[in-house]
Chains A and B, each alone.
Chain A
Amino acid sequence: DVKVTQSSRYLVKRTGEKVFLECVQDMDHENMFWYRQDPGLGLRLIYFSYDVKMKEKGDIPEGYSVSREKKERFSLILESASTNQTSMYLCASSSSQGNTEAFFGQGTRLTVV
Chain B
Amino acid sequence: EDQVTQSPEALRLQEGESSSLNCSYTVSGLRGLFWYRQDPGKGPEFLFTLYSAGEEKEKERLKATLTKKESFLHITAPKPEDSATYLCAVQGSQGNLIFGKGTKLSVKP
Contacts and interface: CB of A to CB of B under 8 A. Distances in A.
Contacts of B74: none
Contact of A33 (B32, B36, B97): B97
Contact of B49 (A33, A42, A43, A99): A99
A62 interface: no
Contact of B101 (A40, A45, A100, A107): A40
Which range holds the interface residue count of chain A?
Answer: 20 to 34
Interface string A44-88: 010010100000101000000000000000000000000000000
Nearest to B91: A100
With a 10 A CB-CB cut-off, give which of B46, B49, B97 has the most chain A CB atoms.
Answer: B97
A102 B34 contact: yes
B41 interface: yes
Contacts of A4: 43
A42 B100 contact: yes
Interface string A83-104: 0000000101010100111111
Contacts of B36: 104
A33 B89 CA distance: 14
Nearest to A41: B101
Contact of B43 (A48, A50, A104): A104
A31 interface: yes
Contacts of B49: 99-101
Interface of B: 31-32, 34, 36, 41-46, 49, 87, 89, 91, 94-102
